[in-house]
Amino acid sequence: MIQKIRKTLADFTQAQADTRTQLCRLEVVSLAGDRCTLAGVVLDQATLAAAQAALLYSIPSSPSLSFDTSAVQVLRPGRPMAVAANLTGLYAQPSWLAEQISQLLAGQPLEVLQEEGRWVMMRQADGYLGWAYAPYLTGSLPPAPTHLVCAPVALLHTAPQIDAPLVGRILGGTVVYANTAEAAGWARLAPSSGEQSWALATDLRALETLPKCAGERRTQMPADGAKFIGVPYLWGGCTALGIDCSGFVQLLHRLAGVALPRDADMQFAAGRPVESPFQPGDLLFFNGDDSRAITHVGMSLGGWRMLHSSRARNGVYSDDVQAVPHLRESFAGARTFV
């Protein structure tokens, strides 16, 4: 029976193999009578419960089978922290040399699950997992945000004057607490580091004014996207300092008040299918040679004209899908979140 249990557990673990959002490393330590001892690490109690259910289902002849899970480490719930830097990378492993899989913006809330030296494994609010550099995080959570940075880059000054010294900059998509009533045309910010600074009010968008309907979003997203034309391509990037295809469309939706999954294949799976003729804000997806079927995404500006962060063009530009052979031939379908 132990071989059957190990095979079932291996199959279950394989089904949890998307390390972007899942974590399951379980093994059978021993089987004594109907008592099975498990060890390893799982993301949460739901994963552990599902593993036990799969084992019970696979061995109906042993209805009294029970489990000792005292040696299993359950990571969630973790410790709350927030990003203290204006930007930092999210990595596949705890090293600067590891693949950058995404980026984290100032004030972004995180759930720390594991620690390894000066690195922490963390979970974002959308469930995306990765490793971040601990000195760039803080246990002091920022106040509830009131605004979203809508400019590609917002400069921070020591006073509400355009010639006041700079103290930093924050990037489009960052949520902040801001007071816009103290100086005309300016907003006083309370960044995650606690240092007071001022930004132009036009660089911010109040959360309460984000588009409320599809029509407003389909107007807002192309207008925001135009501000990022020429931003260079960066694998794992999600800001005006460098951005990849899925990070770009995720950012444009965030600026319009819509939450998207991080990666293109996730977006394709989560969106609602749409057909041509496409409307502004619809997402166009493409196949590639990668192990995942979907490897590229762009946002329609209406019809086949799309804005995308293109590795081939090394940045954010618009293209007519039907006029570019490799895009036309690899088109996989369209989805929308609007």
Q: Contact, 200 vs 170, CB < 8 A?
A: no
Q: What is the mean pLDDT of residues 296-310?
A: 98
Integer Cα distance of 285 and 84 in angstroms: 34
**Is the pLDDT at 193 greater than 80, yes or no?**
no
Percent of the chain with pLDDT over 90: 89
pLDDT at position 59: 80
This prediction has a pTM of: 0.93
Task: Give the 3-state secondary structure of residue 91.
Answer: strand
**33-55 pLDDT per residue, tens:** 889 999 999 999 999 999 999 99
Neighbours of 269 (CB within 10 A): 12
pLDDT at 1 over 90: no
C-alpha distances in angstroms, 186 versus 53, 191, 192? 57, 15, 19
Model pLDDT, residue 130: 98
C-alpha angle with apex 94: 90 to 95, nearest 5 degrees?
90
**3-state class of 51 per DSSP?**
helix
Strand, coil or helix: what is 14?
helix
Radius of gyration (C-alpha) of the chain in whole angstroms: 23
**Please, are residues 260 and 248 in contact by the beta-carbon 8 Å criterion?**
no
Residue 190 in 3-state DSSP?
Answer: coil
d(CA 193, CA 136): 10
Give the C-alpha distances (Å, rounded to integers) separating 53 from 68, 128, 202, 276. Answer: 14, 25, 54, 44
Residue 111 near residue 123 (C-beta atoms within 8 A) = yes
Task: Output the average pLDDT for the chain.
Answer: 94
- Which of 53-57, 75-79, 87-91 shows the lowest mean pLDDT across its residues? 53-57
- Cβ atoms 301, 307 nearer than 8 A: yes
Q: How many CB atoms lie within 10 A of CB 229?
A: 12
pLDDT at 306: 98
HSE at residue 69, side-chain half, CA atoms within 13 A, is 17
Please provide residue 2's backbone torsions phi and psi, each rounded to the nearest 5 degrees.
-65, -30
* Domain architecture of the chain: domains with CATH: 2-74 (3.30.300), 79-138 (2.30.30.40), 147-208 (2.30.30.40), 210-336 (3.90.1720.10)
Helix (H) or strand (E) holding 253: helix 245-255
- Rounded Cα distance, 93 and 113, in Å: 14
